[in-house]
Amino acid sequence: MMKKKIAVLLSALAIMAAASGCSGSSSSSSSSTPASGPSDTSSISIPDTAPVPEDPEDGADTTPDSDSATVLQEIYDSVKAAYGENYIPSMMLEEQQLTEVYGINMDNVENFIAEGPMMSGHVDTFLAFKAVDGKGEDVAKDVTAYQNMQQNEALQYPMNMAKVSASQVVRHGDYVFFVMLGAFDESENSSEEEQQKFAEEQTKIGVDVIAEHF
């Protein structure tokens, strides 16, 4: 009987030991396996894939040359239309001519339209300049020097004298113009005073048209 009790006791102890070992293994396995559930994304860096907005001025022509060229062209067209068949200039002047013949310092000029007569017997001239910013006065001085030379030093045909005398230098900020345009007084009995008045009225046509653009 005693042997039977000892055997039962030893068997019970073996069962308890086995149960304890299984429990430890299960606990160890559980601690090494990450818990299931939603991932914590608070520390994850997400790359910014949003497109960079384009510069609204990319590809746009914002240079001052395009604006001044448009202004000068509009004024030139308006002046020609105002004079009609009495607009005589027909030869476009190049930068070298404006420097060497007209004495314009082209370093001060941003854009220009310049036209003179094809025939040497005529003096009709239209000069339109957009000066570099702040250089309008300097360009006007150059144009005025040319005007003074034509009025006081250059030899003129008698029919051109009134028109040369009535010519005007016009400045609107950095825009500078020279107007020596218009019809001839074809009256045979006009006095010098009447011819001068006629020439001044013709010049005023161009001056007024230019003023309308400013």
Q: Over its length of 214 residues, how does the chain's per-residue pLDDT go in tens digits?
A: 444 444 444 454 444 444 444 444 333 333 333 334 444 434 434 344 333 334 333 333 333 345 999 999 999 999 999 999 999 999 999 999 999 999 999 999 999 999 999 988 899 999 999 999 999 999 999 999 999 999 999 999 999 999 999 999 999 999 999 999 999 998 888 899 999 999 999 999 999 999 999 9
Tokens 């019970």 map to which residue? 12
Q: Where are the alpha helices (DSSP H) in the chain?
A: 2-32, 64-83, 95-100, 136-152, 161-166, 192-211
Rounded Cα distance between 50 and 47, Å, is 9
Taking the CA atoms of the chain, what radius of gyration do you get in angstroms? 47
Q: Is the pTM of this model over 0.85?
A: no
Position 119 scores a pLDDT of 86
135 within 8 A of 108, measured Cβ to Cβ: yes
**DSSP H or E run through 126:** strand 125-131
Pairing of strands 109-116, 168-172: unpaired
Q: How far is CA 77 from CA 34, 151, 205, in A?
A: 84, 27, 13
Residue type, 152: N
Rounded Cα distance between 202 and 126, Å, is 13
Position 120 scores a pLDDT of 81
Rounded Cα distance between 189 and 198, Å, is 13
Position 66 scores a pLDDT of 53
